Amino acid sequence: MPRNFADRLLDEIDAKQNPSCVGLDPTVVELPPYLKKEVLDEAKIYDRDPGERTEALFKATGEALFRFNRAIIDATCDIVPIVKPQMAFYECYGPEGVRAFLRTVRYAKQKGLLVIEDAKREDIGKTASFYAKGHLGVVELLDGTQVPNFDVDSMTLSPYIGSDSVGEFVKVCADLGKGVVVLAKTSNPSSGELQDMRFADVHGGRFLYEQMALLVDQWGGTLKGERGYSSLGAVVGATYPEQAVRCREMMENAIILVPGYGTQGGTGRDTLPNFNSDGYGAIVNNASKLTFAYRQEPYRSKFGEKKFSEAAREAALVMRDDITGAMRVAGKLPSKW
Amino acid sequence: MPRNFADRLLDEIDAKQNPSCVGLDPTVVELPPYLKKEVLDEAKIYDRDPGERTEALFKATGEALFRFNRAIIDATCDIVPIVKPQMAFYECYGPEGVRAFLRTVRYAKQKGLLVIEDAKREDIGKTASFYAKGHLGVVELLDGTQVPNFDVDSMTLSPYIGSDSVGEFVKVCADLGKGVVVLAKTSNPSSGELQDMRFADVHGGRFLYEQMALLVDQWGGTLKGERGYSSLGAVVGATYPEQAVRCREMMENAIILVPGYGTQGGTGRDTLPNFNSDGYGAIVNNASKLTFAYRQEPYRSKFGEKKFSEAAREAALVMRDDITGAMRVAGKLPSKW
């Protein structure tokens, strides 16, 4: 029986004394220009005739995304427990983008990192089972061979379809020691349109995001690990600390994935409600402000584009110290750190 | 300015006098055995050493999925207006699965079919824009070139994140004459867990699925075409005819994508509430019961595995006649048919 994902994650958080997560959301516009030039030159793009050029450019784009991620992983793998590639930034380039995603996942795992895929998938039963197998589990190839495909440790899910969808992922998690994270309260401005609507008294008068927190608590029961946390977690944005207090109360055993730190304005202090008093129960994600730190001051002047990965490492250390500093002040540092 | 998606879809529905949609959800287990053997033999799988074999098997799996789809498309493209490949069944095989998806989309468009991708994507603003560009629009490659990737005509979206997500897709739809379909009431048994919950009186006491229908109506306003329908549609399962009546009332201009016909037990009559009195406003999907008709009676005895595409064609004709027959009885056939 493989070790429970929540247990593996908490062990890594302890090992690094850091509950933060590096978001791998690379975009062509933000990649260091020297890196783009390097890959384009190697691919000899301008020697190709137009018929071949587009395909070669898709390949080169995937290669550049992977090289960028590899450098970020090398620069941060000893200080963070987990990375979160966002599938949108890869699949938008089709097969070659998905290949870059796959290479990134494999490289991160090789370097001892856990990988949570941000994919926000959901579907009805049979279809959901194919998502679950393809992302977390094993798929059946044409001759009947069963092999893993993306083989990430955990992935995000959308909740609208309900337990028919989530249940298919939970089955794979239970068998293989994997995890999922279900949206409860997202970090974006329009998240209130549905999530902050209140249900009728007959449903307990709860807000939709609270109903989700309740369901996460129920659904997560079967995936609880030795350390008391479940491998079924929830997304609760750093931009909504009040809702985070409620979510934390309603799903004590869930590990909360906290987006919205950095880019969307959340600070270390804003993430405090997501942690339990034992100092666990949350991981805080930061993507562009960290991986593309070289594009902003004070990192730009200090590092420049060629040292983009060192800039990312420094930004990751600043983030760690911001969060753990806030945890210390609030008396929420894990006792064994 | 490209022609509005809703207009293009209604034109095709008129041309074929058929509001049904062929779902392309191929699975290895259901593929005709002779087709699997053919592809495995061509790929010389058993001559390869184990190190290469897995990669070759992924390729062969993608090839078999595409060949199956191509045959189904050839057999049905003169009688149906649109096909709906479900991304889960492709991306579960990684880059080679996604390549099979891409080849399927291109082939279907070549054959004059519209393509609606079932992907149920959603995310916050910037991320959603990459999904929108990669699936419906154009992406920027490493040298700044802008090219389409999947380039489907329409795709399904999940709604939990709200207008920050949907709005990014709508922008691309408005620019390029594309469409999206947002989940309102899904066809699965657990769809009621969230979707049938009632909001408080302060929100009008509506069910969640009704709230979604209202939002679809609002959001769709900017994508209305010349024929009075919007390119922003909604999913309403054939398994819930009562909820369909309410949805139809609340979003008059939306084209409803109706899953759950066939496999999930919905009949032609069950789909009637999804159509407006003008005979338009819905497309009805059928995936495995149609594409894998050769596996069930009466098609199995009549066609066998080698004529699987002829079986699919016959099942598509039976489906068309079931739906249009029910429409005729109900006085809901478009007047020009």
Is A98 exposed, middle or buried (CB count within 10 Å of its CB: 0-12, 13-18, 19+)?
Answer: buried
Question: How far is residue A173's CA from residue A126's CA, in Å, rounded to a whole number?
Answer: 16
% of chain A with per-residue pLDDT over 90 = 94
pLDDT, residue B153, reads 98
Q: Write out pLDDT tens, residues B37-67.
A: 999 999 998 888 888 999 999 999 999 999 9
Q: Write out pLDDT tens, residues B131-151.
A: 999 999 999 999 999 999 999
In this prediction, residue B328 has a pLDDT band, given cuts at 50, 70 and 90, of very high
Residue A25 predicted with pLDDT over 90: yes
Q: Write out pLDDT tens, residues B240-281.
A: 999 999 999 999 999 999 998 987 778 999 999 999 999 999
pLDDT, residue B264, reads 73
> Average pLDDT in the B299-315 region?
97
Question: What is the token pair recorded at B124?
Answer: 């916050």
% of chain B with per-residue pLDDT over 90 = 94
In this prediction, residue A147 has a pLDDT band, given cuts at 50, 70 and 90, of very high
CATH of domain A5-329: 3.20.20.70
- Angstrom CA distances, B184 to A212, A312, B207, B210, B331, stand at 17, 41, 11, 7, 26
Question: How far is residue A82's CA from residue A238's CA, in Å, rounded to a whole number?
Answer: 18
Residue A332 predicted with pLDDT over 90: yes
Which residue is closest to B237 within chain A, CA to CA? A124
| B163/A158 Cβ within 8 A | no
Residues 6+ apart with CB under 8 A from A316: A20, A22, A75, A76, A79, A80, A286, A290
Which residue ranges make up each domain of chain B?
5-328
In this prediction, residue A112 has a pLDDT band, given cuts at 50, 70 and 90, of very high
Residue A264 predicted with pLDDT over 90: no
Q: Which B positions 83-142 lie with beta carbon below 8 A of chain A?
A: 86, 88-89, 91-99, 102, 118, 120-125, 127-128, 130-131, 133-135, 139-142
* Active-site entry in A16, A59, A84, A120: A120
> Average pLDDT in the A176-204 region?
96
pLDDT, residue B50, reads 83
Q: Which B positions 252-311 lie with beta carbon below 8 A of chain A?
A: 259
Q: How far is A135 from chain B (nearest CA, A)?
A: 7
The closest of B115, B97, B96, B94 to B106, measured between CA atoms, is B115
- Angstrom CA distances, A73 to A81, A196, A296, B78, stand at 11, 37, 20, 51
% of chain B with per-residue pLDDT over 70 = 100
On average, the pLDDT of chain B sits at: 96
- Phi/psi of residue A273, each to 5°? -60, -20
pLDDT, residue B165, reads 98
| A122/B120 Cβ within 8 A | yes
Residues 6+ apart with CB under 8 A from A131: A121, A123, A168, A169, B88, B91, B92
pTM of the model: 0.98
CATH 3.90.1580.10 fits B5-328, yes or no: no
Which residue is closest to A125 within chain B, CA to CA? B188
Residue A263 predicted with pLDDT over 80: no
What would the 3-class secondary structure string for chain B be? CCCCHHHHHHHHHHHHCCCEEEEECCCCCCCCHHHHHHHHHHCCHHHCCHHHHHHHHHHHHHHHHHHHHHHHHHHHCCCCCEEEEECHHHHCCHHHHHHHHHHHHHHHHHCCCEEEEEEEECCCHHHHHHHHHHHCCEEECCCCCEEECCCCCEEEECCCCCHHHHHHHHHHHHHHCCEEEEEEECCCHHHHHHHCCEECHHHCCCEHHHHHHHHHHHHHHHHECCCCCEEEEEEECCCCHHHHHHHHHHCCCEEEEECCECCCCECCHHHHHHCCCCCCCEEEEECHHHHCHHHCCCHHHHHCHHHHHHHHHHHHHHHHHHHHHHHHHCCCCCCCC
Question: What is the token pair recorded at B53?
Answer: 């074999």
| B200/A92 Cβ within 8 A | no
> Average pLDDT in the A283-302 region?
96
Q: How far is B100 from chain A (nearest CA, A)?
A: 9
In this prediction, residue A48 has a pLDDT band, given cuts at 50, 70 and 90, of confident
Question: What is the token pair recorded at B229?
Answer: 């329908």
B207 has which bridge partners? B198
Contact list, A140 vs chain B (CB under 8 Å): 28-29
Residue A23 predicted with pLDDT over 90: yes
pLDDT, residue A265, reads 76
